[in-house]
Chains A and B, each alone.
Chain A
Amino acid sequence: GDSVTQMEGPVTLSEEAFLTINCTYTATGYPSLFWYVQYPGEGLQLLLKATKADDKGSNKGFEATYRKETTSFHLEKGSVQVSDSAVYFCALSTLGNTPLVFGKGTRLSVIA
């Protein structure tokens, strides 16, 4: 079945450091790919998405590019802030009316 694998956390970075959170997927068909962010005590928020190969999703300084050849959707940000501390989930969607498949989440802590 479909699956998402993302790097294990926690990830601890200093403010202004470069961030990469790896995400790879296995899917039948042609999935859409997502990154969600969960701040402490809150629900998940859609951060960015991409629906076809080579699409780049971007939001709030975060970027991820849909790489079909490597089945990857790595999340990057050039300069993290303390306010980026959260749990990040990678997810995919294939057919309509079927649930998203989520990775296990990666906790990011940014220290000043």
Chain B
Amino acid sequence: SQTIHQWPATLVQPVGSPLSLECTVEGTSNPNLYWYRQAAGRGLQLLFYSVGIGQISSEVPQNLSASRPQDRQFILSSKKLLLSDSGFYLCAWEGGRTAGTQYFGPGTRLLVL
């Protein structure tokens, strides 16, 4: 069966510090991968998605970047965090027999102080 992991689960970072959040998927090949952000009490904002290694589509120009160095690994980064980067970051995958349905990871809660 397929599983999706995210780490860390919780992160507290000072303004101006770098960020690296990691997402990995097991049990499937060549998934589509997604990064979403959810601000407190708000809906989902799609940040990036990837249909293959090295292929990244950005939905919202901002302080963040994404990379896909391996087939089942998706990384969200920032060189300098802003207060407004605080939120709940969710990774999702889609593909294989369940194409068209996204499955989400447990999320990373980021607090920028």
User: Which residue from chain B places its CB closest to the CB of A102 in the assembled complex?
Assistant: B44
Given the known inter-chain contacts A96-B99, A97-B51, A99-B34, please indicate yes or no for A45 contacting B104, CB distance below 8 A: yes
A93 sits at the interface (CB 8 A): yes
Give the residues from 84 to 112 in chain A that come closer than 8 angstroms, CB to CB, to chain B. Answer: 89, 93, 96-97, 99-100, 102-105
The winner among B43, B49, B59, B105 for most chain A CB atoms within 10 A is B43
A46 sits at the interface (CB 8 A): yes
| B 40-56 binary contact with A (CB < 8 Å = 1; else 0) | 00111010010100000
| Residue contact B101 to A34, C-beta cutoff 8 Å | yes
In the complex, what distance in Å separates the CA atom of A56 from the CA atom of B43? 25
Give the residues from 88 to 110 in chain B that come closer than 8 angstroms, CB to CB, to chain A. Answer: 90, 92, 99-107, 109
Q: Chain A residues near B101: list those with CB within 8 A.
A: 32, 34, 46, 49, 93
Interface size on B, residues (CB 8 A): 22
| Residue contact B90 to A43, C-beta cutoff 8 Å | yes
A contacts, CB < 8 Å to B? 32, 34, 36, 41-46, 49, 51, 89, 93, 96-97, 99-100, 102-105
B contacts, CB < 8 Å to A? 6, 32, 34, 42-44, 46, 49, 51, 59, 90, 92, 99-107, 109
